[in-house]
Structure 1
Amino acid sequence: MRTLYLFCAAAPPIYHVAGAIEAAQARGWDVCLGLTSTAATWLHDNLSGLETLTGHPVRSAYRMPGDENVWPKADAICFAPITANSLNAWALGLTPSWPVGVVVEGIGKRIPMVALPCVNEALAAHPQVDRSVGVLRAAGVTVLYGEGGWVPNPSGQGRPAEYPWHLALDVADRTV
């Protein structure tokens, strides 16, 4: 079975992550869920259910030296939703959170990766967002941003139930 690391940052679509996990499982993926620390806080009351759903511990922190890695090796990584903060950190090679650290290394390990941002128009207006998208694409990451991917919405007018998880899963399916 193929293993998908599904990483999520703190954006409203994470409240629908169980549906995304089920959709990935229906496509034949063994899903391991990783969250930024803020996303883990948002989903705190759901973590045990998500562990039951995936069959793996939900991770949001670095392992201690010497601790065993309890997840199987990733065949692909989807970072969805990814916020402007995590996107920019990834592109700059910064590792402020465990999921971002994994994808920064993932470039060097040549793991197939897809990012599906969730940013509003105000955040997207910052010039670093476009630079980060360009850097990641040049490094081989599929970034689903703009036409055919995530199109930023006006601030305060999110549409988390309409988040296109399937686009990221489609790319993951094609990479493996």
Structure 2
Amino acid sequence: MAERIGVYPGTFDPITLGHVDIIRRGAKLVDRLIVGVTTNPSKSPMFSDDERMAMVRREVVGLGDNIEVVGFDALLMHFATQQGASVIVRGLRAVADFEYEYQMAGMNQQINAGVETIFLMADVSLQPIASRLVKEIASYGGPIHKFVTPTVRAEVEARVAEIGLKGDRG
């Protein structure tokens, strides 16, 4: 039987406990899970591509030997094909996520019907977490320790102090 490869794509700016939960659980469903760290300039990233790659690599250590972190700047379905993936893993927090993800899965299926999309519900305790909100809370000096690991928290707080963030950056 061929190796089942999955891709879990995202900007991970920053990686949250919700992302880590989906990575841990998604890795159990495939032989190899590729965490695809993508560029998305429209989201005004707080961290550079290299910083996000390093952050994700550090946070997935110990989650499984079948997890690999790869950066990409391409159409997701092209990236999935390049990686030999047959599965896209997506996390869902709420109904609003489902509507968007359902539409994306349909478009992706039109591009490559050989790649299936699997939706994983975020753990109930992690459902409200969004990277955008973590950055916004941090920019106003709010506590983010319940949403990210201590190391990521320190990086976010240091970046906020460095650039003097106030309010939502996207």
> TM-score normalised by the shorter chain: which range applies?
0.3 to 0.5
Larger radius of gyration: 2
